[in-house]
């Protein structure tokens, strides 16, 4: 190789080195740009891709992969990408790919359900799906936690989209005709609906959740009373026949009504989730507070057909309790079957009477022994229980507590629980006893002997009348005729204007009337011989209306 010296000459033995510049052909520019665009699109799609969740439903009805949409307020926020059976094959898992802006629907209290045509208590819904097909409805939750697995609802929720209002809980013995979506009324205006129901913790009642829309939720106060407005309320009272119902829809799907009593001092709006009791009707709902209950027992020696559990108990005409038990018993001494009746009373329902009584008697309602002594005092003054008829058409009975000063004295045992109230027979039983006494007295009368004597007397009367008509009356009439002839002869011999002739004329007229009266008497007695005993009736027709006299 040759090397080169400083003056430009080549050094012997050093080879020459050649250099090249790197250059890109224009042909590769287009593919490179395409790759970069593709990478940017992939990255953009990854960045814009929403979350994927799984919703479990009981069935896959209405769910189709890559077709069924997810909507919120009728806006598409996702799509079902897969439908498959669960691992235990008892449900269906729907895989849903949500849009990026729907990321908030992954909150763990979000709700999903299948929207399809439905007919329920709240009306008809999902009609638009008849043309567009079923879709999944969604409602965003409020929780801060996130989830990937959700359990789908079988029915749409009654309240969605965060509607303003308040939710309250009602407790009742049974659900009745109420259902999710049943309306809630305030002064006959729908202001809410039933949103949920479930058995209570001990299984002895039902808890019903209702939602009242704003601004009407302010009318629900702490003293508000709720009652079941389903069906028709029919009552028959002193004012006649009454029929009440909230609306036509309550006849079909049931309903609830609420209102506070007219006198509700210091009342204020109720807080969220405030609990109430659901009453059976408006009358019991707006009645005074029940207060402390007092259980009593009654024992009747009479049949009580028509007395039912739930029948009212009244004190001096004011209802303040009800019948809770009716049992048949056996009395070994009397060999009879008395009826034991259990009742519960609420003295506080008497209102001012109860308040004044506690004040005057200085009585503590929480002192059970003092209360029993007070009842014993009332019994000494004639307090008794009586089964009375409440409806003559149906035969229903009710229990009345009243004072009977003339009632037989009884011994009160203050140690017996529940406290026993003595009873008296009912009004119908008392009337029946009086009628039986009258019948017994009539049976003791010698009816046959009296009837025989009456028959003998009538026979004698008929014989006397026959003799009177055959002998006495003709003789009297003959005598009267002779006297009349004599008087006429005497009248003919007297002057026309003499006073004696005028007197004779009057005498003749009297004799004629007497003869006519005798004929009428004879004819009437012949047709009515019993008038000699009973007398002539006041409404007997005059002689000229009874037809011509018989000869």
Q: What is the pLDDT of residues 355-392, one digit of tens each?
A: 787 777 777 777 777 778 888 888 888 889 998 887 77
333, pLDDT greater than 50: yes
Same structural domain for residues 303 and 277? no
Prior bond to 365 cis, omega within 30?
A: no
Residues 269, 266: Cα–Cα separation, whole Å: 10
Q: Which region among 27-36, 51-60, 300-309 has the lowest average model confidence (pLDDT)?
A: 27-36
Q: State which H helix or E strand residue 119 sits in.
A: strand 118-120
Domain count, the chain: 4
* Residue 151 phi, psi (nearest 5): -105, 120
Query: Is residue 126 a part of any domain in this protein?
Result: yes
Same structural domain for residues 189 and 111? no
Same structural domain for residues 179 and 251? yes
- Please state, as a whole number, how many other Cβ atoms lie within 10 Å of the Cβ of residue 178: 24
Q: Which region among 218-222, 256-260, 504-508 has the lowest average model confidence (pLDDT)?
A: 504-508
> pLDDT (tens digit, 9 = 90+) per residue, 16-29?
555 555 555 666 77
Same structural domain for residues 92 and 170? no
Same structural domain for residues 499 and 525? yes
Q: Which of 10-14, 209-213, 252-256, 353-357 has the highest mean pLDDT?
A: 209-213
| Res 237: pLDDT | 44
pTM exceeds 0.85 for this model: no
Domain residues for the domain of 120 are: 48-151
| Res 171: pLDDT | 94
Q: Are 296 and 416 in contact (CB under 8 A)?
A: no
Q: From the centroid of its chain, how far is CA 374?
A: 35
- Look up tokens 């006429």; give the residue: 488
Q: From the centroid of its chain, how far is CA 112?
A: 38
Same structural domain for residues 423 and 458? no
550, pLDDT greater than 50: no
Query: Is residue 37 a part of any domain in this protein?
Result: no
Confidence of residue 190 (pLDDT cuts 50, 70, 90): very high
Q: CA nearest 53: which of 130, 138, 149?
A: 149
Query: Is residue 24 a part of any domain in this protein?
Result: no
């Amino acid at each position: 190789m040759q090397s080169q010296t400083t003056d430009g000459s080549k050094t012997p033995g050093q080879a020459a080195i050649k250099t090249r510049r790197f250059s890109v052909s224009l042909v590769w520019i287009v593919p490179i740009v395409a790759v970069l665009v593709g990478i940017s699109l992939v990255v953009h799609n990854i960045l814009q891709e929403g979350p994927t969740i799984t919703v479990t439903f009981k069935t896959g009805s209405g769910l189709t992969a890559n077709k069924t949409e997810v909507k919120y307020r009728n806006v598409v926020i996702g799509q079902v990408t897969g439908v498959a059976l669960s691992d235990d094959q008892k449900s269906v898992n729907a895989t849903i790919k949500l849009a990026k802006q729907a990321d908030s629907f992954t909150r763990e209290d979000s709700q999903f359900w299948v929207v399809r045509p439905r007919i329920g208590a709240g009306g008809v819904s999902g009609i638009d799906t008849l043309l567009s097909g079923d879709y999944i409805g969604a409602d965003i939750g409020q929780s801060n936690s996130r989830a990937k697995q959700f359990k789908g609802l079988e029915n749409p929720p009654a309240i969605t989209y965060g509607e303003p209002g308040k939710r309250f809980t009602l407790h009742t013995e049974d659900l009745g005709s109420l259902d999710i979506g049943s309306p809630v009324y305030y002064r006959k205006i729908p202001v809410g609906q039933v949103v949920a129901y479930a058995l209570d913790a001990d299984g002895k009642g039902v808890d019903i959740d209702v939602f009242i829309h704003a601004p009407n939720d302010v009318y629900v106060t702490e003293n508000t009373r709720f009652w079941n407005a389903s069906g028709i309320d029919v009552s028959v009272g002193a004012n006649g026949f009454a029929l009440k119902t909230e609306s036509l829809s309550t006849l079909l799907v049931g309903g609830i009504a609420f209102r506070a009593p007219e006198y509700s001092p210091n009342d204020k709006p109720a807080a969220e989730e405030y609990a109430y009791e659901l009453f059976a009707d408006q009358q019991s709902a707006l009645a005074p507070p029940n207060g402390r209950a007092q259980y009593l027992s009654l024992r009747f020696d009479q049949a009580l057909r028509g007395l039912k559990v739930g029948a009212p108990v009244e004190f001096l005409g004011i209802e303040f309790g009800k019948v809770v038990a009716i049992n048949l018993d056996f009395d070994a001494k009397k060999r009879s079957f008395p009826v034991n009746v259990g009742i519960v009373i609420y003295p506080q329902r008497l209102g001012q009477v109860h308040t004044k009584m506690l004040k005057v008697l200085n009585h503590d309602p929480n002192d059970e022994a003092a209360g029993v002594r007070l009842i014993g005092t009332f019994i000494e003054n004639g307090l008794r229980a009586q089964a009375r008829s409440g409806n003559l058409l149906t035969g229903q009975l009710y229990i009345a507590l009243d004072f009977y000063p003339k009632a037989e004295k009884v011994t009160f045992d203050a140690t017996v629980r529940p406290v026993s109230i003595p009873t008296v027979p009912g009004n119908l039983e008392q009337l029946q006893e009086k009628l039986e006494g009258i019948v017994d007295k009539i049976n003791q009368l010698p009816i046959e002997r009296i009837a025989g004597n009456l028959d003998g007397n009538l026979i004698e009367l008929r014989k006397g009348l026959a003799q009177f008509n055959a002998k006495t009356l003709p003789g009297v009439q003959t005598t009267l005729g002779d006297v009349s002839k004599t008087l006429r002869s005497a009248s003919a011999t007297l002057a026309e204007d003499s006073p004696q002739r005028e007197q004779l004329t009057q005498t003749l007229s009297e004799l004629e009337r007497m003869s006519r009266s005798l004929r009428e008497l004879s004819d009437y007695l012949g047709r009515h011989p019993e008038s000699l005993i009973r007398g002539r009736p006041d409404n007997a027709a005059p002689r000229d209306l009874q037809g011509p006299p018989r000869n």
